[in-house]
Amino acid sequence: MIIRTYHNVVDDNKKFSVGGGTHPYYEILCITRGEMTLEFMNESFRSGSRTLFLIPDNVPHQLYKHCDSAAYWYLELEKGTGPLTEAASFLSVGEAIAWNRKQSDDEALSSSVPGLAELIGSTADSIAAIMNNDSLSRHGELRERIVLHDVSKLFLQISAALQQQRQSDTANPEPAEANPNKQLVQDLMQYMETAYLHEVKLQTLASRAHLDSSYLIRLFKGHTGTTPYQYLQELRMNAAKSYLTNTSLTVKDIAETNGFPSIHYFSRQFKKRYGMSPSQWRQAQEAE
């Protein structure tokens, strides 16, 4: 991997929508002051006192703040030849979601991964310190190599933390009678979160779960309050809104990109949900 861009941001604007979008780059986002929420894959991850989020490539996402002033930095990584080893490549979508969930508490890095939290925090601080070092900025290639080695170390540390958590969950499993089908529903949700760009049929979900279609709908709704179809539509609509806000793609391209069968179907469903057409919604966002 190679570094695409780095920004250290102090945000004192009154607007609470900070930004976001979708891009073919990996992103490390570190909240250093203030409470913020990262939204992607139909989940909201709220930052604690000090939080490190991971955003995989090609995932629509949005960042909001809950205070007048906040500070954060982000580093975008591009696929390419570089000193970042394959053994420490960017985490998968599922692993990134699992990590971001761990960050969504009051303490974040300070307590979510006992034994590794301090190491992860210090590695993140090292990345920011090197990128903000003016003297090293004159030696771009050297600085990039140093930072990418820290990035490699960071990914290995986070992978170790997730492994530590999995081992802990295995040693102390949730009682089966408490929620016997919870993991099955979560697996289906994660499948739709990665496959929403393509056609996803109810029968496909039922086959994956080895369940009758009608029973699957009841089971899914019992755990989530929504049907599989409604959840899939929510994923697609959230992704489409991100594209409308942050790209110049046509409405037709956005419909095709996010798994809708046609622009007419997408526009009709969008207006039914939000009371305006996709083009009107985009104009309204631009006017804010």
Crossing angle, helix 182-195 and helix 213-224, to 10 degrees? 100
For 186-241, the pLDDT digits (tens) are: 889 888 888 888 889 999 999 988 889 999 999 998 888 889 999 999 899 988 98
Q: Confidence band (pLDDT; 50, 70, 90) for 280?
A: very high
For 1-38, the pLDDT digits (tens) are: 888 899 999 988 877 778 777 788 899 999 999 888 99
Mean predicted confidence (pLDDT) in 277-281: 93
127 & 228 share domain: no
pLDDT of res. 128: 94
Residue 175 lies in a domain: no
158 & 37 share domain: yes
Q: Could you give the CA distance from residue 96 to residue 54 in angstroms, rounded to a whole number?
A: 6
9 & 126 share domain: yes
3-state SS, residue 174: coil
pLDDT of res. 129: 94
Tally of domains in the chain? 2
Q: Confidence band (pLDDT; 50, 70, 90) for 125?
A: very high
For 169-200, the pLDDT digits (tens) are: 666 665 544 556 788 888 898 888 888 888 89
Percent helix, percent strand, percent coil in the chain, to nearest 5: 55, 20, 30
Residue 174 lies in a domain: no
Percent of the chain residues past pLDDT 70, beyond the cut: 87
- Candidates 77, 78, 76, 74; CA nearest to 7 is 74
82 & 217 share domain: no
Domain containing 112 — which CATH number?
Answer: 2.60.120.280
Q: Could you give the CA distance from residue 257 to residue 243 in angstroms, rounded to a whole number?
A: 9
Asked if pLDDT for residue 111 goes beyond 60, the answer is no
Residue 28 lies in a domain: yes
58 & 145 share domain: yes
Long-range contacts, 253-261 (Cβ 8 Å, 24+): 254/278, 257/197, 258/196, 258/197, 259/196, 259/197, 259/198, 259/199, 259/200, 260/236
111 & 190 share domain: no
pLDDT of res. 109: 56
Residue 14 lies in a domain: yes
> Which residue range is the domain that position 154 belongs to?
2-169
Name the domain boundary from 144, 169, 194.
169
Residue 29 lies in a domain: yes
pLDDT of res. 227: 92
Asked if pLDDT for residue 123 goes beyond 50, the answer is yes
Name the domain boundary from 139, 169, 199.
169
Q: Could you give the CA distance from residue 123 to residue 167 in angstroms, rounded to a whole number?
A: 24
Q: Confidence band (pLDDT; 50, 70, 90) for 110?
A: very low
83 & 9 share domain: yes
Predicted structure pTM score: 0.61
For 34-78, the pLDDT digits (tens) are: 888 998 766 788 887 689 999 988 788 888 888 888 999 999 998
Question: What mean pLDDT value characterizes the chain?
Answer: 84
CB 78 within 8 A of CB 25: yes
pLDDT of res. 172: 63
